[in-house]
Amino acid sequence: MPTRREGRTVRLLRCGDGSGRDVNAVRSSAASLATLAQEAKSCTRCPLYRNATQTVFGEGPADAKLMVVGEQPGDQEDIAGRPFVGPAGRVLDRALAEAGIDRTQVYVTNAVKHFKNEPRGKRRLHRKPTRSEVEVCKVWLLQEVAVVRPALVLAMGVTAAEALAGRPMTISRERGRALVFPDGQRGMVTVHPSSILRVPDEAARHQAYAGLVKDLKVALKTLQAV
């Protein structure tokens, strides 16, 4: 994962350079992810597929050291079939770049794979998934984590954090700290980029964004120490 530190490009360990995963293992992981994505396309385990255009599975390198997990796809993600391509995704891209992290080297996904929405005229309004919906969909997320085996999983927002931690979470209290999720996976939590977009005051919005960048820099330091 190319990163930038003190004006220089730093490359974190990846496949074939001492990271412990050879090329064949990564190819196998990529094939496993492709199989999972194909299986998820026909998922009807909860009712959310009924109002969604399609399943939006995760994407990124099969040997990514950093996995970023959000809540669910939004309207634009639902149409495109890719995670984090809408307004929140653009905030994430900018924050990752400012933190020195190349998004193309990050595996990005969501706790819920279908867009939960309420049709309102020509619009589709975002609705937060219930705990039961998150729990049902967690089977896909946990398999993604197991296949990619990232050095760090960054959960953005309370839905993703609780899905991974398996307990109630308060982002303001837990953010930026080293966590260990029940499966032994090293993790961190931060705010979801969409929450920054909802801040009405410009100064407060700038502060919230700076907090996200700060958390991403902490994540980068954690990865560099692994």
Q: Residue 152, SS3?
A: strand
pTM, entire model: 0.89
Burial class (CB within 10 angstroms; exposed 0-12, middle 13-18, buried 19+) of 173: exposed
Mean pLDDT by 10 residues, the chain (226 residues): 44 44 79 95 96 97 97 98 98 98 98 96 94 97 97 98 97 94 95 98 98 98 92
Quote the pLDDT of residue 20: 52
Give the span between the Cα atoms of 73 and 85, in whole angstroms.
9
Percent of the chain scored above 90 by pLDDT? 84
Quote the pLDDT of residue 21: 62
Amino acid type, 48: L
Tell the CATH topology of 22-225. Uracil-DNA Glycosylase, subunit E (3.40.470)
Quote the pLDDT of residue 3: 47
CB 62 within 8 A of CB 147: yes
Vertex 67: Cα angle to 61 and 70 (nearest 5): 120
Quote the pLDDT of residue 8: 37
Among all chains, which residue has been given the structure tokens 């109630």? Answer: 168
pLDDT in tens, 74-95: 999 999 999 999 999 999 999 9
